[in-house]
Amino acid sequence: MLFKLRGMDENEIMEELRKIRGTEEKTQEKEKTKQKIAESNEEILSKSNIAQFWIKDNEFEKISISVNLPVVSMPLLKRLGNPQFLACDNFFEEMEKIYKFISENAIKQSYEKEQKEGKSENNNEYDVQHGNIILHGVWQTENKKFFIWGETFKPVEKSKIKNQKIHPFASGTNEILNFLMSFFNFKKVCSERSLLLYLPTSKNLPLLSTSLSSPSDEIHLAQWNVPGIEISAGDALFLLSQISTNEKCMGNDISFWSTSAKFCLELIARQRFIPFVARNKTAKWRMIFNYTDDAKRYKILINSIPYACFSYGNKISPDKILEDFLNTCADESIRAWFRDKIKSETWKAKIGENLIGMLLSSLLSDNNKIKGTTYQQNTLTDGFEKWTAIFEETKSDSTAHSPFRTCFRLEEPLDNEWKISFHLQNTEDPSLLLSARDIMMHNIKSISKIIHKKFNAEEYLLRDLAAASRHFSPVNRGLRERSPSECSLNLPEAYKFLKEDAWLLEECGYGILVPSWWKRDKAAAQLGVNITASPKSDSKTVKFFGLDDILDFKWEIAIGDMSLSKTELEGLAKLKIPLINVRGKWVEFKKEDVEKALKFLSGVENDGMDLSLAMRLNAGIEDIGIPVLKFDAKKWVKNFISTEPYSEIKTPESFNGVLRNYQIKGFSWLNFLKNFGFGACLADDMGLGKTIEVIAFLLHEKKNNNAEKNTPVLLVAPMSVVGNWKHEFEKFSPDLRIMVHHGSGRLETRKFLKESKGYDVVVTTYSLAVRDGEIFDKIKWNGIILDEAQNIKNPETKQARAIKGLKSNYKIALTGTPIENRLTELWSIMDFLNPSYLSELSKFKENFSIPIERYRNEDASEKLRKLVSPFIMRRLKTDKSIISDLPEKMEMKMYCTLTKEQVTLYKAVVEDMMQVIEESEGIKRRGMILSALTKLKQICNHPALFLHDNSRTDDRSGKLSRLKEMAEEVIESKEKALIFTQYSEMGEILKNYFESLYGREIFFLHGGVSRNKRDMMVDKFQNCSDSPLFILSIKAGGFGLNLTKANHVFHFDRWWNPAVETQATDRAFRIGQSKNVFVHKFIAKGTLEEKIDEMIESKKELSEKILSAGESAITDFSNEKLREIFKLRD
């Protein structure tokens, strides 16, 4: 039979192979599909997989997607050849216009402007970061609609839902719609409905996707009635393609559909689809996955589809549900893009009554029915069935299923003749090749090493070579041989193969191997320019250099590593040969490239290059009209661009403390960038000491007279840490004169402008930067320092605009999370530090945000890293160089500023209680003092704790605001924390607050928790990655627990006995702890908490008395002493 195939033309071979396959294979395929569906549904319902219902496998998150035009237009249609049955002489010409229009629309949609940055000024209308709502999605194969539902964590009483099947945590449809409108500008038509979904259930409650279950939990699947919205496939493609990969408000299932939607858009843009006519007389667009990389990604998607995607109870296999989703989304979107175009007169003429007109009408309009006579319908149906049969017949042999593909290798010529050898290539391991010569000569030894006995290699290869000859005619020369193994080429054919034919064959699913000196669309040794940049000044350092300062430069035309003079370039151009062998290297040489190079040489002689351009060239994002082959920087320019070591400076003598090695490097780096006039972002992990690095830097500035006289530095910080900054300045730098511009007693404009000149640093808040912006704008500050710089992450807010409008000599941003959710946050911080360096926001989104966040584009990520790395220093606690410099346990005090409400309550309680205390004696007096202590500490924690009124919790407590900020850094760093409080009611307040903030269950261990529940909490905290915070009553959780997964310990309020606090801290700092532990002790600035802490630190005798007797020791104090302790200080 195989001998019979040789000598046949392509059509004869294909027809013969169709007969061989018969109906037996189709029957076997149907049986396999049924078995696969049964196994899939059984797997979903098995108990072992219910625990992984929401997150089965996140392999799909690693898929890289790039939405671009195809290398060769219509690769699949060209593989099929001209459909003779359509009787259309200009078929490819017409289809090319259609395909081009479709590709352009896919690219346009994929780069639709990103989600709104938020409507409200504080960007909290819907908290995307913390997932107050978590979205989920289900594809319905029956009605071809996408169903979106959401869940919102909220406490429920189990007794109320025992006999109901309405999902108690489901978000309302209005909530979902408002969310989509706010963050995705989604205004498409949708309908409200409810679905019965199979969801993991335990103890009569559906488990939240963020809930944590232990192996001991009894979990089963149960149906729950879930309200949501339903949208069309086309609208689903639009919405899902906008979702960024790091959205924390998206469930794993909708993240999967988002990746699939982006994959779909890429396939459409690259024209990996064909028209298809079904037996029911309808025409549709259909995706094809025969290209190797597409097949691999398609397989990854199939294997990692979350079980939650089957919650609707679809009786369908993973590959079928994904294929149905991709095909329907593509088909509906293409029709939607053509709606307006079809209305034009030009397109009306194209959609006529002939076969091609009928086909276009059913493919491009909303109605996919083929309008025509029965004869015409059958002609189209039968014609398409034969025309597209290659994709049907080779579906089981395509690279998505078959372990092999035909491969063409271009061999370099020993003389003047090039040749292409034929091979079979393993799709899993492309390095495994079997030559056609071995196959045709039946070299059993070679074949058996690679190919299974049941696989007919010779038949497979001959069939593929016959199909390939349609696209690359030289293959026919090889097929004429008795044992086809290679074909010869002349130089023009070899060049055409490299430039066009190879990539058409690759797009059709064939393997391609070309010489190492050739890249995908050009020779490796290409014509380009080498650039050398160096500073104009010969000095080692230059004060206040800027991004727009001009450098000395040298331009040099080169091919690879060979430099060319202008004369040599003109001489090579006269050869008029596309491929030239230069010193043993083949080089592509095009007339237009030579013209560009000559034009470039004539244009750069008088042009300069600033540092900003140099850095963009180094990152590879600047187009200068000719490829940059090599960028070389000299002296400090090289150090700056490559962030090579800079000179460290000594710790200022006036610094009252000892800096660790990495902290010395940090403040030296700040000085390094400041000396060149660049803004710097210090983004060290929380707890590594950014505050004292800045203080050391300011002292160095003052000592070296770098600070301008009568020109202070403006330090802007959240209200919650203003007190902490004041305390740290007093502790580490008593020589620095500090003004705090905050509160109702702050200075008015004229007085402020006069008195601020006498200070080194003015500390204020972000809100006052807006409210008192006119005052700050009247001063050109020596420097502006932003603490928690993520507060300007939204560039559209008044806060960000006001701060960026202030004038200064240098700028510094401090943050532990330079990117919380979106890259635009990084842009906003960089725009403050070095305006215009990352270009305007819209261009930044196009070049970086969308490619990286939506499509995980590694090339864009690397370019952005090169651009920003000179300006950002980020050290992690996990860095070996940092760990070796840290103690095993670091304790630090966090001084928190009271809110206006706390100040009012605090003062009122002090006045009221002191009056009663002064009038009381004996036991009554002692009781009143202890009562006053409790009330004041409650106010320091939170007004709601003092008022017992169940009122809202956010923005009312300095401690809680700071805890929220620090908890965000803990979670962002994928770490864990314990939060201790001595008040059970405060623990409940914290639990409810963080649960509503993060949309997940937060554990709170107190005296009323049973032993079994306590063990469950500890087990889940220790073993589940999605449980970052654990709140504990210091009495109930201060002993007998092993919580070593936490490396942060927060003491929200103080227990004035270090032994008790240490015992609580040791829940994390004990045997089994593999990380450094950071202990944060919260103290309300200016209150009795700070005063008692000072007394304990400074007076040994008093300290011992307090430590031995606790707070009761304070009851012996005189009225004058009590008033001094209770009094609120500025």
Decide if pLDDT at 353 tops 80.
no
Same domain, 428 and 537: no
Q: What is the pLDDT of residue 601?
A: 72
Contact assessment for residue 141 and residue 314, using Cβ atoms and an 8 Å cutoff: yes
Domain boundary among 831, 856, 880: 880
CA-CA distance, 1080 to 867, in Å (whole number)?
35
Q: What is the pLDDT of residue 640?
A: 66
Q: If we measure between CA atoms, which residue out of 1016, 1021, 1027 comes closest to residue 971?
A: 1027
User: Per the domain annotation, does 269 fall within a domain?
Assistant: yes
Write out pLDDT tens, residues 940-989.
999 999 998 877 778 899 999 999 999 999 988 889 999 999 999 999 99
CA-CA distance, 119 to 128, in Å (whole number)?
12
Residues above pLDDT 90, as percent of the chain: 35
Write out pLDDT tens, residues 593-639.
777 777 777 766 555 566 777 777 777 666 677 777 777 766 666 66
Decide if pLDDT at 818 tops 50.
yes
Q: What is the pLDDT of residue 1097?
A: 72
3-state secondary structure 2-30: HHHHCCCCHHHHHHHHHHHHCCHHHHHHH
Q: What is the pLDDT of residue 505?
A: 85
Same domain, 91 and 169: yes
The crossing angle, in degrees rounded to 10, of helices 457-468 and 10-21 is 140
User: Per the domain annotation, does 630 fall within a domain?
Assistant: yes
Q: What is the pLDDT of residue 116?
A: 44
User: Per the domain annotation, does 843 fall within a domain?
Assistant: yes
User: 1029-1033 and 283-287: which strand pairing?
Assistant: unpaired
Same domain, 693 and 805: yes
Same domain, 764 and 814: yes
- H helix intervals, 709-765: 719-732, 749-755
Strand order from edge to edge, sheet including 738-740: 738-740, 761-765, 713-717, 780-786, 807-814, 680-682, 872-873
The token duo for 220 is 């089963």
User: Per the domain annotation, does 369 fall within a domain?
Assistant: no
User: Per the domain annotation, does 368 fall within a domain?
Assistant: no
Q: If we measure between CA atoms, which residue out of 261, 265, 283 comes closest to residue 274?
A: 283
Same domain, 219 and 134: yes
Same domain, 259 and 177: yes
Size of the chain in residues: 1130
Contact assessment for residue 899 and residue 719, using Cβ atoms and an 8 Å cutoff: yes
Local confidence band at 156 (pLDDT 50, 70, 90 cut-offs): low
Same domain, 952 and 1083: yes
Residues 6+ away with beta carbon under 8 Å from 892: 687, 1078, 1079, 1080, 1081
Q: What is the pLDDT of residue 547?
A: 58
What is the number of domains present in the chain? 5
Look up the CATH number of the domain holding residue 1070: 3.40.50.300
Same domain, 924 and 775: no
The token duo for 811 is 């700028």
Q: If we measure between CA atoms, which residue out of 968, 982, 898, 953 comes closest to residue 724?
A: 898
Q: Using DSSP, how many helices (H) and how many strands (E) does the chain show?
A: 46, 32
CA-CA distance, 842 to 689, in Å (whole number)?
35
Q: What is the mean pLDDT of the chain?
A: 81
Strand order from edge to edge, sheet including 220-232: 134-140, 145-151, 220-232, 191-202, 205-206
Contact assessment for residue 757 and residue 710, using Cβ atoms and an 8 Å cutoff: yes
Same domain, 332 and 436: no
CA-CA distance, 560 to 146, in Å (whole number)?
52
Write out pLDDT tens, residues 507-552.
777 899 998 888 765 655 677 888 777 776 544 444 444 555 556 6
Q: What share of the chain is helix, strand, coil (3-state, %, to 5)?
A: 45, 15, 35
Phi and psi, residue 704, nearest 5° = -95, 15
* Burial class of residue 925 (count of CB atoms within 10 Å of its CB; 0-12, 13-18, 19+): middle
Place of tokens 């919790």: 953
DSSP 556-610: EEEETTEE--HHHHHHHHTT--SEEEETTEEEE--HHHHHHHHHHHHHSSS--EE
Local confidence band at 126 (pLDDT 50, 70, 90 cut-offs): very low
Place of tokens 């690279």: 399
State how far Cα 490 lies from the chain centre. 48
Same domain, 872 and 926: no
Domain boundary among 474, 490, 513: 513
CA-CA distance, 241 to 259, in Å (whole number)?
8
Most confident of 432-446, 476-490, 1070-1084: 476-490
Local confidence band at 1011 (pLDDT 50, 70, 90 cut-offs): confident
Cα torsion 951, 956, 959, 962: sign: positive
Local confidence band at 419 (pLDDT 50, 70, 90 cut-offs): very high
Same domain, 22 and 76: no
The token duo for 209 is 């996707």
Decide if pLDDT at 560 tops 90.
no
State how far Cα 841 lies from the chain centre. 18
Look up the CATH number of the domain holding residue 729: 3.40.50.10810
Q: In terms of pLDDT, which residue wins out, 9 or 1016?
A: 1016
Q: In terms of pLDDT, which residue wins out, 127 or 1116?
A: 1116
The token duo for 513 is 């191997």
* CA angle in degrees (0–180, nearest 5) for 103-514-445: 120
User: Per the domain annotation, does 52 fall within a domain?
Assistant: no
Place of tokens 């259930």: 201
Decide if pLDDT at 1107 tops 70.
no
The token duo for 489 is 């080429």
Averaged pLDDT, 562-591:
75
DSSP 216-261: TS--EEEEEEEEEEEEEHHHHHHHHTT--TT-TTB-HHHHHHHHHH
Q: What is the pLDDT of residue 351?
A: 56
CA-CA distance, 510 to 488, in Å (whole number)?
19
The token duo for 1049 is 């310990």
Q: In terms of pLDDT, which residue wins out, 865 or 1108?
A: 865
Domain boundary among 483, 513, 543: 513
Decide if pLDDT at 24 tops 70.
no
The boundaries of the domain holding residue 801 are 661-880
User: Per the domain annotation, does 371 fall within a domain?
Assistant: no
Q: If we measure between CA atoms, which residue out of 753, 77, 46, 6 comes closest to residue 363?
A: 77
Residues 6+ away with beta carbon under 8 Å from 1098: none
Same domain, 83 and 220: yes
Q: What is the pLDDT of residue 5?
A: 43
DSSP assigned state of 456: -
User: Per the domain annotation, does 228 fall within a domain?
Assistant: yes
Contact assessment for residue 762 and residue 755, using Cβ atoms and an 8 Å cutoff: no
Write out pLDDT tens, residues 287-338.
998 777 888 899 999 999 988 898 887 678 899 999 999 999 999 999 999 9
